[in-house]
Amino acid sequence: MKRLLSIMRRYLKESILGPLFKLFEATLELLVPLVVANMIDIGVKNADVPYIVKMGLLLLGFGAVGLAFSVTAQYFAAKASVGAVTVLRHDLFAHLGRLSYAQIDTLGTSTMIARMTSDANQVQQGVNLALRLLLRSPFVVFGAMVVAFTIDAPLALIFAGAIVVLSIIVFGIMLICIPLFKKVQRKLDGVLLRTKENLSGARVIRAFCKEEEEGEQFVRANGELTKSQTFVGRITALQNPLTYVIINFAILLLIWCGAIKVDGGALSQGEVVALYNLMGQILVELVKLANLIITITKSVACANRMDAIFSIVPEESVTGGDKPAVCSENAVAFADVSLTYASASESSLSHISFEAKRGTVIGIIGGTGSGKSSLVNLICGFYNASEGIVSIDGTPIGEYPITHLRQKISIVPQKAVLFSGTIRENLTLRDENATDEELFEALRIAQADGVVRDKGGLTARVEQGGKNFSGGQRQRLTIARALVGNPEILILDDAASALDLATDKALREALKTLKNMTVFIVSQRTSSIMHADLILVLDDGEVVGMGTHEELLTSSDIYREIYSSQFEEGGER
């Protein structure tokens, strides 16, 4: 709630004017029973038609002015709630973008989506209703009680007793439901997670004929969510009937006692009708207040869940000051580095040490799960090393301003990701001011210039996820995107897996023309890294071989085995 309250200060004017106009409307509403009482006691009793017409016109005026007040209050409440939650959602999106890979892995995609969508919408609804009704309903309830005391103090005690009993019921149900709503939201996260996994892995599920099994798991998770929501709904559903029972009992008692007083001449018929109308207003407002409290309870729970995300401090170091000075001939150095992922029982990388000279090509090879991607993620600072030091240009990576680190390093991940838009918009993610000549030079090196020309140029449309491009075309475009802006360190994390051997060779030849750029090539193909200046052979998170291609053929059994499986004697398979 702290973050939301701080944002609401920007909408202080709307947050004051919204409830204020609602109070104006409520004041007019409280005057209606008094006007009706006068119509009965004066107009009807004396058959004074002009007076009745005058009072009727007054009621119409109250209705018109009250409507104007209500619409104005709704405008300011909507402006404050929508504006505040827009800022909150924007801040949350920006905060999530600053979290490290490890923190994002811990949170989970489904949780982040739920916070950005359903939780934010619930907060917006709660703020809107709070600005409109949180002051209005109590004002009408206690105002009606005060007006009742001005009419007849003994009968007004019925109002006071009803309000006390109703408050106990409303707040009791609220205290019971708050923890239950939190459980419902957690189960909603589970349903969202399963939905996301099924949508993203639809092809895999169909390939292994797991539709029925996944459907059963979804039904099970959805059933648990439904069961929890039904249980909470049954408790909250008690509010309205209990409220109506108590109010109607109070009205019955009021009419009975009022009739006795009217018969004794201590009270007029109009005053009894006024008291009855005031009791009706209390009924309506307490029902509103009960529903409002439930909505606000949900909103507070959702706001606290969003605050829990904001309370996570990004692990990535964002230091102030100047850029670290270059003080080493090594572009990248690992000194006894180990990495253990959150909640993992074993290390993914163990005691990695090597030095990559500036302007050299470093090959990284190993079997599936050997830790290749984990190693390059440490270079980018996506994860923090559990032990040891990762240095860039002789400076520990934690001492770099994150923006400067991102300028120095460019990475092409295993999964080629393109965004909806144009080819130019995708290529200029690193450098928005890149010229067309620079873009086509990057495309030429990435062997993608022909692809762009065939598609119609840099303005050609890219569908969501690059669906209108083949796997190899997407990989070449992502490599070109990484080259834009001339990074000092280029990481190709198995980025050529979808390329044929001829295109892969042409890409490697083009990369050799780049001067002073340190290139890391992660691959399972020995042909992709055999010409590198230094090759690291990984197995089960450890470096089991290091050297050139010729040196590893004689010194590393694992490298020799990989090479032999891909090459026949005298040529490539």
- At 133-155, the pLDDT tens digits run 888 888 888 888 888 888 888 88
State the pLDDT at residue 322: 56
Which domains, ranges and CATH numbers included, belong to the chain?
2-310 (1.20.1560.10), 330-572 (3.40.50.300)
State the pLDDT at residue 527: 85
For residues 174-200, give the mean pLDDT.
Answer: 80
Mode of pairing for the β-strands spanning 395-396 and 387-392: antiparallel
The pLDDT confidence band at residue 571, using thresholds 50, 70 and 90, is very low
pLDDT at 316 over 70: no
Give the DSSP letter of residue 323: P
Q: Are 414 and 426 in contact (CB under 8 A)?
A: no
Q: Which two tokens stand for residue 10?
A: 């920007």
Closest CA to 496 of 482, 475, 511: 475
Classify 320 in phi/psi space as left (phi over 0), alpha (psi -120 to 50) or beta.
Answer: beta
pLDDT at 86 over 80: yes
Packing angle, helices 501-512 and 471-483, rounded to 10: 10
Q: Give me the chain's average pLDDT, please.
A: 85
Tell me the pTM: 0.68
- Bridge partners (DSSP) listed for residue 457: none
pLDDT at 260 over 90: no
Q: Amino acid identity of 26?
A: A
For residues 446-454, give the mean pLDDT.
Answer: 89
pLDDT at 222 over 50: yes
Q: Are 175 and 232 in contact (CB under 8 A)?
A: no
Sequence-distant (≥ 6) Cβ neighbours of residue 282 within 8 angstroms: 140, 141, 144, 145, 159, 162, 163, 247
The pLDDT confidence band at residue 318, using thresholds 50, 70 and 90, is very low
**What ranges make up the beta strands (E) of 197-284?**
none
State the pLDDT at residue 324: 59
Closest CA to 475 of 523, 405, 407: 523
Counting residues of the chain whose pLDDT is more than 90, the rounded percentage is 19
pLDDT tens by residue, 542-551:
999 999 999 9
CA–CA gap between residue 330 and residue 324 (Å, rounded): 14
State the pLDDT at residue 323: 56
Q: Which two tokens stand for residue 477?
A: 């475009």
Mode of pairing for the β-strands spanning 489-493 and 518-522: parallel
For residues 366-394, give the mean pLDDT.
Answer: 88
For residues 112-130, give the mean pLDDT.
Answer: 88
For residues 217-241, give the mean pLDDT.
Answer: 87
Ordered strands of the 489-493 beta sheet: 409-412, 489-493, 518-522, 361-366, 534-539, 542-547
CA–CA gap between residue 113 and residue 119 (Å, rounded): 9
For residues 417-436, give the mean pLDDT.
Answer: 89
State the pLDDT at residue 90: 92
Judged on CB neighbours under 10 Å (0-12, 13-18, 19+), 445 is buried
State the pLDDT at residue 334: 92
pLDDT tens by residue, 27-54:
888 888 888 888 887 878 788 888 889 9
For residues 401-426, give the mean pLDDT.
Answer: 87
State the pLDDT at residue 573: 42
pLDDT at 321 over 70: no
pLDDT at 69 over 90: yes
